[in-house]
Amino acid sequence: MQIQDLPYPDPGVPDARSGPRFLWWLFRNQLGGQLKSLAWGLLHFLSVSALPFCVGMAIQAVVDHSGRRLALAGGLLALCCAGSALGDTFLHRTAVTNWITAAARVQQLLAHKAANLGSALTRRVAAGEVVAVSTGDVEKIGWFVEAWSRFTAAAVTVVVVCAGLVVYQPALGGVVAVGLPVLALAALPLLPRATRRADFQREKAGRATELASDTVAGLRVLRGIGGEELFLDRYRRASQEVRHAAVRSARMWSLIAAIQVLLPGLLLIAVVWYGVHLARQGRVEIGELVAVYSSVMIMTYPLRHFEEIAMAYSFSRPSATRAARVLSLERATSAEGSRDRAGDDLPAGDLYDPATGLLAPSGRLTAVVCGDPDTAGLLAERLGGHPSEAGTSVLLGGVPLDELPLGSARTAVLVQDKDPVLLSGTLRELLDVPASGDVGAEEALAAAQCADVLAALVQGSLGAGDPMDARITERGRSLSGGQRQRLALARSLFTDPDVLVLDEPTSAVDSHTEARIAQGVRDLRAGRTTLVFTSSPLLLDHADRVVLVHEGEVAAVGVHRELVRKEPRYRAVVTRETDDEAASDDVPNEQDVLHEQDVLHEQDLLHELEEIEESA
């Protein structure tokens, strides 16, 4: 796999049973790249390791006054230098390719999982943890995958050099053959403690990331209630805990690094002392002593990769565990479906939920009133064909949505969440979504009453003459809550799905704008199935059909004005009655009647105001 071939057509099905199994799965899926990196690594390390033998051969040739052997040594030295340069160049190239492709594979898997689970993902895993996995953890996982081939090449080189030294000079080679494995394994007893400290550091860092993500997401609310400093103090404490954990982890790794420096020095001293002793006895030639001494010095280079692989594994294992935990999450229903439907052959008709008895007739605007906002959110997810829990499937035109592939279900039924996300970019890019083509961008923006939003975007974007080229900041933070809601609504209306489900689309909009949005949505969605979860009388009054869902079941069906007069539970939700007021609803008093009349009168006034503005 080459970098230019990314993204993968199919990233595969990961082994998410544990962090180590996930790392092994990544390695197996990049076996070709690992073998290339191993081959170039062997060329590089063996070429570097052969340099001392060439130097020793050259020195001995000078001592023996042999011009032929000196020329041969020079030729071998040039060949080793060329092999080292070529191997190092392509080792770096293939190793970085392994790193990037592994990271890209993990990011693709995480993106597919997020798209598969939808809003259920953040209900089961903290948003901050998902961010941490898809950023820092991905890099550490890629680091281990990249470092593995270099470590393998280094380990093979150490074995070859030890064997070569034993053959080349048995007396000194035996000392090196015993000493090098000791150097390679000296830090092994310290690795469990270093790994635990690295795990603790990653845990603290993940907690700090989650806290920062949650604080930033709720910063506007925190400022409103004066809780900004409280959460900032919490983040400061969490960041200090991360710093202390990082220092403790660094101390252990510095000790391991010190051992990797100290022990090779002791081995060099031992080789020199013993070599000089053998040279005095005439058992070792000067060239052989120089070659063995230089080999020990050169071996410190591949031995560093033993420390690197230990660090890479210690840091990547908790990261891989976190990634595996996210990737192991499953939908309540299958994303593949059990029906094969070709092309645009999607079901059409009434949308019906057997669990609650909720029916949204085809081609009509249906409003749903739920006393519990969480219940409304879960029901909206069910109607979109991606429930959080397994249960009876929602039917569209008599066809269970669970039997459709996830892509087909989402094409047939579009659900706009209560808190829709606006990605950074231009307005044109925001509306660059799959759409039917029957609704223009201008129509959708007008129906969502986005005129003032467009003006604000143009004002905040220098040089943007066309509102479609105006830039939207990350998550639309430069806009108010109502403006973000209207842009998200315009995007949903522009998509123009057969069935559109809106969850509280105007909760942050003023009453006058809300009434105009209700009329705009009704006009634009004429002949299309639209279902709105709301408790706003202004939206409810524009609906063809209003359904009250109480305690998980349909309790009443009618039109808004009729239900306000006849259904106490409906009136309690819509008019925000207190419990005491609701308890006395069986015998309506004069105050109740006057309150109902005020609500209906306010709606009539808004309708009259709209008519006056339209005529003007």
> Averaging pLDDT over each range in 51-55, 403-407, 576-580, which range is the top one?
51-55
Q: What is the DSSP letter of 546?
A: E
| Alpha-carbon span 333 to 385, nearest angstrom | 9
> Averaging pLDDT over each range in 99-108, 182-191, 199-208, which range is the top one?
99-108
Per DSSP, the three-state class of 583 is: helix
| Alpha-carbon span 564 to 561, nearest angstrom | 5
Q: Which of 147, 99, 96, 109 is nearest to 15 (CA)?
A: 109
pLDDT of amino acid 540: 92
How many other CB atoms are there within 10 angstroms of residue 197's CB atom? 20
Alpha-carbon distances of 367 from 504, 533, 535, rounded to whole Å: 10, 6, 9
Question: What is the band of 217 on the pLDDT scale with cuts at 50, 70, 90?
Answer: low
Question: What is the band of 588 on the pLDDT scale with cuts at 50, 70, 90?
Answer: very low
Is the CB of residue 275 less than 8 Å from the CB of residue 296? Answer: no
Element at 343 (helix H, strand E)? none
Radius of gyration of the chain from its Cα atoms, rounded to whole angstroms? 35
> Does residue 49 surpass a pLDDT of 60?
yes
How many other CB atoms are there within 10 angstroms of residue 199's CB atom? 17
pLDDT of amino acid 595: 47
Residue 109, class by beta-carbon neighbours within 10 Å (0-12 exposed, 13-18 middle, 19+ buried)?
Answer: buried
Element at 156 (helix H, strand E)? helix 138-168
> Does residue 589 surpass a pLDDT of 50?
no
Q: Which of 569, 616, 615, 572 is nearest to 595 (CA)?
A: 572
What pLDDT, in 10s, does the model give residues 454-497? 888 887 776 667 778 888 877 677 788 888 899 999 999 999 99
| Alpha-carbon span 447 to 440, nearest angstrom | 11
Average pLDDT of 52-61? 84
pLDDT of amino acid 522: 93
| Alpha-carbon span 156 to 173, nearest angstrom | 17
Question: What is the band of 615 on the pLDDT scale with cuts at 50, 70, 90?
Answer: low
Q: Which of 508, 507, 504, 528 is nearest to 370 (CA)?
A: 504
CA angle 406/408/413 to nearest 5° reads 95
Residue type, 70: L
β-bridge mates for residue 369, sequence order? 548
For 604, the token pair is 């009539």
Is the CB of residue 135 less than 8 Å from the CB of residue 119? Answer: no
| Alpha-carbon span 380 to 421, nearest angstrom | 17
Question: What is the band of 177 on the pLDDT scale with cuts at 50, 70, 90?
Answer: confident
How many other CB atoms are there within 10 angstroms of residue 232's CB atom? 13
Q: What is the DSSP string of 112-146?
A: HHHHHHTTHHHHHS-HHHHHHIIIIIHHHHHHHHH
> In which residue are the tokens 């989650």 written?
210
| Alpha-carbon span 44 to 226, nearest angstrom | 61
Q: What is the DSSP string of 268-315?
A: HHHHHHHHHHHHHTTSS-HHHHHHHHHHHHHHHHHHHHHHHHHHHHHH
pLDDT of amino acid 532: 95
Question: What is the band of 517 on the pLDDT scale with cuts at 50, 70, 90?
Answer: very high
Residue type, 451: A
Instruction: Name the average pLDDT for the chain.
Output: 82
> In which residue are the tokens 């191997």 written?
87
pTM: 0.69
> Does residue 120 surpass a pLDDT of 80?
no
Q: What is the DSSP letter of 401?
A: G
Beta strand 529-533 with 365-370 is parallel
pLDDT of amino acid 601: 52
Q: Which of 206, 192, 207 is nearest to 314 (CA)?
A: 192
| Alpha-carbon span 389 to 408, nearest angstrom | 20
What pLDDT, in 10s, does the model give residues 325-378? 888 888 766 656 555 554 457 788 899 999 899 999 999 999 999 988 788 888
For 427, the token pair is 């307005």
Between 385 and 262, the higher pLDDT residue: 262
Average pLDDT of 63-90? 90
pLDDT of amino acid 274: 84
pLDDT of amino acid 610: 54
Is the CB of residue 271 less than 8 Å from the CB of residue 296? Answer: yes
Is the CB of residue 418 less than 8 Å from the CB of residue 460? Answer: no
What percentage of the chain reaches a pLDDT higher than 90? Answer: 23
Residue type, 230: L
What pLDDT, in 10s, does the model give residues 534-556? 999 989 999 999 999 988 899 99
Between 407 and 509, the higher pLDDT residue: 509
pLDDT of amino acid 215: 65
pLDDT of amino acid 289: 80
Contacts of 126 (CB under 8 A, 6+ apart): 210, 213, 214
pLDDT of amino acid 491: 93
| Alpha-carbon span 344 to 600, nearest angstrom | 43
Q: What is the DSSP letter of 559?
A: -
pLDDT of amino acid 202: 74
